[in-house]
Chain A
Amino acid sequence: MSEVTHTKPVAVAAPPFSFTQVLPWLIFAAMLFLVAWYFISAEQGATSLLSGTAVHEWVHDGRHLLGFPCH
């Protein structure tokens, strides 16, 4: 079989994405994760950005069951 008609793909060992390709998405996903998990884990518990206890009350059961210190 000649080179021209050889259509089988050759195994690619190289990673499909370079680090710089992934980095912006990694930063975005990490920021999203950190902000969300802050509100689930610590807001109006150990530390408060917002006044009152509404956030604490709303995520109360989730905070306990996801394993964070509470009260």
Chain B
Amino acid sequence: MTSARSFLIRGLLAGLFAGLVAFGVAYAVGEPAINAAIAIEDSGALADHHAHHDPTASDSSGAAEVPRLLQSTLGLLSGTLVAGVTLGGLLGVLSALALGRFGRLGVRAVSLSLAAIGFVSISLMPFVAYPPNPPAIGHPDTIGVRTALYFIMLAASIIAAVTAVLVGREFAERWGAWYATLTAIAGYLLVTLAAMALLPGYSEVPADFPATVLYHFRGASLITQLALWATLGVVLGELLYRLRRRTGGGHVPEPDYAEQLS
């Protein structure tokens, strides 16, 4: 007898693996952009940007408590691991809930669908609304407002996604899965795009900040998050599939109607 506990444990495991992969991607693709941004900050080359760090205690120059070598390796690794493990646990339990409730999708497709919904609603939409910036850009004075706006957008996106899934399941009984899914996606996009339009925007990127560094950083950030979600969805699905197969809850053959009729 499997319980939701088995799903949670497999979620945590899959999340650990996803966190490792995300670290590899972030280190290889993201760290060059972060180092480039810190070099620009330390050179003081940005003309119209007041230095937001005390030059004697810059948190990114390595003079502070955690040296850059640790920030870019163990610090980054612990960040992606903790993010992956806890996200994986949540997605594992949600898979237990969604299984048998997402039409006729098997457990692998359920996990990957949940990961896809999670990527779009938790990572992609907030990214589009408030794209992340490398070090040297954000003003410390506005961190409170920027964080609040980011989390308001995140909350709106998550609530819209959960509502879309619940409403979509209702529609599926009347219109079939295809039109219900399209309607749910359209509704989600409408709500989140409206939230984006209504919420105030901000851009603190100095006019003379190199566009290539900014592009590389934002691309790396998106790819890191995509790697996290994609790995989590695929690995979790595989682990749960093996669990279901082993405990007899996996592949169920079609009933032999001809035999039953005879």
A interface residues, Cβ below 8 angstroms from B? 1, 6, 8-17, 19, 21-22, 24-26, 28-30, 32-33, 36-37, 39-42, 45-47, 52-54, 56-71
B interface residues, Cβ below 8 angstroms from A? 2-5, 7-8, 11, 26, 30-31, 34, 52, 59-60, 64-66, 70-72, 75-76, 78-80, 82-83, 85-87, 89-90, 92-94, 96-97, 99-101, 104, 123, 126-127, 130, 132-135, 137-140, 143-144, 146-148, 150-151, 217, 220-222, 224-225, 249, 252-256, 259-260, 262
A15 to B147 Cα, complex, angstroms: 39
Q: How far is the CB of A47 from chain B (nearest CB, A)?
A: 8
| Structural contact, A40 and B252, CB atoms closer than 8 A | no
Of B8, B70, B79, the most chain A CB neighbours within 10 A belong to B79
| Complex: chain A residue closest to B248, CB-CB | A9
Of A53, A58, A66, the most chain B CB neighbours within 10 A belong to A66
| Structural contact, A67 and B66, CB atoms closer than 8 A | no
| Structural contact, B94 and A26, CB atoms closer than 8 A | yes
Which of A25, A41, A70 contacts B4 (CB under 8 A)? A25
| Structural contact, A70 and B83, CB atoms closer than 8 A | no
| Structural contact, A11 and B252, CB atoms closer than 8 A | yes
Which residues in B have their C-beta under 8 angstroms from that of A68? 132, 147, 150
Q: How far is the CB of A70 from chain B (nearest CB, A)?
A: 6
Known A-B contacts A62-B83, A69-B132; the reply to A9 vs B34 at CB < 8 A is no
